[in-house]
Structures are given as C-alpha cells and as structure tokens.
Amino acid sequence: MRRTVIAILSVVFIAFSLAVIGLAQDHSAEEVFYRANQAYKQGDFTQAAQAYGQLIEMGYANGHLYYNLGNSFFRSGQEGKAILMYERAYLLMPRDADLLFNMNYVKDQRVDALQEGQGVLASTFFWLNSLNLAEFYRVFVICNLLLFTALILRLFMNPSWMPPLIITAAFVWSAVAGSVAMKWYQVNFDDRAVVLEKEMDVLSGPQEGDTVLFRLHEGTIVYEERTEDQWVLIQLSADKRGWVRAESIEGVRM
C-alpha cells in the first residue's frame, strides 16, 4: 500500500516537473520572440535575425519565423539569406500574402536575370504548392475517414448510390495519397540552393585554379547535384553547370 502511494506520488511529481519545464520553455520562447520583434522595430536587424534563428533552433520552426528571419536578413543587406528564408517559409505557408509579396519584391532586386522555373514536380502537379505538408496530411486524414466510413456502411447496407460513392471516395483518396507522397518528396528532397555571396564564380572543376564558366550573384537559385569535399556541383540550366565552394550557397531543405 505504502509502495503504491509512493509510486503514484512519484508519477505526479515527474508529470508536474515536465509541465513546469514545458511552461518555462514556452515562456522563454515568448521572451525571445518579444526581444526579436523589439530589436527589429528598433532597427537592430542583426540582433533580430539571431533571436529568430534561436527560436527556430529551439524547435519553433514555422513559416512566420522564417518569414521574419527573411525580413531581418533583407534589412541587414543579406538578400541571398533573405530569399533562402522566404523559400523555406513558402514551403510552410504557401498562401501567405505578406510572404508572397516580400519574396517577389526581394527576388526583383537580384542581379541575375533568370527565368525561375517551378520544377517538373510542382509544374505538373500544380496543386502541390497550394497547401503545405501538414495541410496535406489533414486532407488525407479526412479522405481516409470518409472512404472507410463508406466501406463500413457498405457492409450493412447497399443502396444504389453506394458503389459510385465508394469509387469516387477511392479515387479522391488515391489522388490525395499520391499528392501527400509527392509533397513529402518535394519537401524532403528539395535540391534547390540559394547563392549567398554577392558575386560567385562557377568553375569547371572542384579546384581553385579551374576555368571560370560563368558568374552568379546573390539570391540566385541553383540546383545541387553532388558534393565533393568542400565543393558542390550545381546546375542552373541544361547548359550551365559547374562547381562552387560549399559555403557560397545554402540548401533550401530544412
């Protein structure tokens, strides 16, 4: 009996401690967020960027924080990092009007005149950019629920409208499941990277002395192919490929 009481008390204590730690962490995050916002308002954009970055490292990685971080980088004159953060924010909140406005504005400031493609996956399955991955999960859960509810009802009743309903539900379920898989692939295998340097030479090989093939400027989006030591093979288009130093670019994938 005594042992049971001790055990219950121990469980209650641990749960309470975890809740307190969680609350403390939440309070800490809110404080950091407040400080970051204040720094941004006062024009200390470097400080603001550090604070937003800290929040992301703490696990609060959401579209708003990446958006704020992008703004802070842009204000501090780092257009490349700003575009990188906006691209990450776009994966998380693709319909946010502020983000779309700022991203277009900052991309307009880039030096390189390049037509930015959406990629084969996103242009073929155009609806992939309408929702983020979490929203796709929710839509899938709803479709899953509807399909199996219809199948369960089919076991008990079989009116004439049931077969077309099940076929339609199965079709929608398959389409949504496919979309979830493609979106998951798009987010987790995103090979885009953003140029962070003001000006960057693209070489014919992974060595300093190799021929300069072409020159890119800050904010341009390239596609990473493979990495060797501290060098990355990038592709801009079918006829524009070359090697750059790894620290000159940063991948969009989070």
| Residue nearer to other proteins on the CB measure, 68 or 220 | 68
Which residues of this chain interact with other proteins, rule CB under 8 A?
A: 29-30, 33, 37, 40, 55, 59-65, 67-68, 71-72, 74-75, 92, 98, 101-102, 105-106, 132-134, 137, 140-141, 144-145, 147-149, 151-152, 155-156, 184, 187-188, 254
| Residue nearer to other proteins on the CB measure, 8 or 141 | 141
Provide, rounded to whole angstroms, the least separation between the CB of residue 250 and other proteins: 17
**Number of other residues whose CB lies within 10 A of the CB of residue 91:** 19
Provide, rounded to whole angstroms, the least separation between the CB of residue 237 and other proteins: 28
Provide, rounded to whole angstroms, the least separation between the CB of residue 211 and other proteins: 38
| Residue nearer to other proteins on the CB measure, 176 or 200 | 176
Element holding 14 (H helix, E strand): helix 2-41
Provide, rounded to whole angstroms, the least separation between the CB of residue 234 and other proteins: 24
233 - beta bridge partners? 226, 243
CA–CA gap between residue 103 and residue 91 (Å, rounded): 13
CA–CA gap between residue 190 and residue 172 (Å, rounded): 26
132 - beta bridge partners? none
CA–CA gap between residue 186 and residue 53 (Å, rounded): 23
Place of tokens 């990685």: 61
| Residue nearer to other proteins on the CB measure, 60 or 214 | 60
